[in-house]
């Protein structure tokens, strides 16, 4: 079965629009856990428009006595300290998540929209991967479905890749026929990763509809889903929505 890690960034975005602590990110994490998710994903950015460092530390504390639930901390590993953002690696040192998904997003990006180019960034990433391994943290790299790049991910010591599914989701919204060739590229990438000893995660714009196809990806260990899941929760309720996503992943 493929694990579901629920990204709570949009809960924090709603909270931040009014100040205070409503809705409460930690309470919503508890709801997701009650509903049966296998992980919680957070992507704290330097501008703190979504989850903030305190949220990450709070979720890490919550999960200390829940060893079956993984904390996946996403972010740009090169993001430095500014104001009350401690820098991504320093935040990891505070939280010690189960998994770090390293993402090449910049401050100017509205959301993550491409994977690493390890031909240019691999040498710079390698010591950070080693540092995270020294903390006992699993390292996943956000990647496009390009076998040559995936081979480089294995060479620099990553444990997993997270395939960027944005283009697949966009094509699926048009038609199954449009999505099929992209899914085949993802299948080849997943098989390549598996042969290299890498685990396979996926995420970005996955939803209850396109998961009907994407859940069939070979070797798929985990999906990280936030935006669509939280939107569905507006009408379905959060725990029922998590149940619905788990049901798709279990079929």
Cis peptide before 23 (omega within 30 of 0): yes
| Catalytic residue of the set 74, 162, 186, 222 | 74
pLDDT tens sequence across 12-21: 999 999 989 9
pLDDT tens sequence across 95-146: 999 999 999 976 655 565 678 999 999 999 999 999 999 999 999 999 999 9
| Catalytic residue of the set 43, 70, 162, 222 | 43
> In this structure, which topology does domain 3-250 adopt according to CATH?
TIM Barrel (3.20.20)
- What per-residue confidence (pLDDT) applies to 110? 53
- Nearby residues of 61 by Cβ (< 8 Å), 6 or more positions away: none
Domain regions of the chain by residue span = 3-250
- What per-residue confidence (pLDDT) applies to 112? 59
* pTM attached to this predicted model: 0.95
pLDDT tens sequence across 33-74: 999 999 999 999 999 999 999 999 999 999 999 999 999 999
pLDDT tens sequence across 205-218: 999 999 999 999 99
- Nearby residues of 18 by Cβ (< 8 Å), 6 or more positions away: none
Strand pairing partners for 115? none
What integer best gives the mean pLDDT of the chain?
95
- What per-residue confidence (pLDDT) applies to 234? 97
| Catalytic residue of the set 28, 50, 186, 204 | 204
74 in active site: yes
Query: By the 8 A CB rule, do 155 and 123 touch?
Result: no
């Amino acid at each position: 079965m493929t694990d579901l890690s629920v990204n709570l960034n949009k809960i924090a975005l709603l909270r931040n629009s009014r100040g205070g602590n409503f809705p409460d990110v930690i309470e919503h994490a508890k709801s997701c856990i009650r509903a049966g998710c296998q992980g919680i994903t957070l992507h704290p950015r330097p501008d703190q428009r979504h989850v903030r460092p305190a949220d990450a530390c709070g979720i890490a504390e919550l999960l200390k006595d829940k060893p079956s639930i993984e904390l996946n901390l996403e972010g740009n590993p090169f993001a430095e300290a500014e104001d009350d953002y401690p820098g991504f690696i320093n935040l990891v040192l505070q939280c010690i998540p189960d998994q770090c998904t390293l993402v090449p997003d910049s401050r100017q990006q509205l959301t993550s929209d491409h994977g690493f180019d390890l031909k240019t960034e691999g040498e710079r990433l390698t010591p950070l991967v080693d540092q995270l391994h020294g903390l006992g943290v699993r390292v996943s790299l956000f990647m496009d479905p390009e076998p040559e790049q995936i081979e480089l991910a294995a060479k620099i010591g990553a444990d997993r890749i997270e395939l960027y599914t944005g283009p697949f989701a966009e094509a699926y919204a048009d038609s199954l026929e449009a999505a099929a060739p992209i899914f085949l590229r993802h299948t080849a990438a997943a098989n390549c990763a598996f042969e290299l000893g890498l685990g396979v995660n996926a995420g970005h714009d996955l939803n209850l509809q396109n998961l009907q196809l994407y859940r069939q990806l070979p070797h798929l260990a985990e999906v990280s889903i936030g935006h669509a899941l939280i939107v569905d929760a507006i009408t379905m309720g959060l725990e029922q929505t998590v149940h619905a996503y788990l049901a798709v992943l279990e079929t």
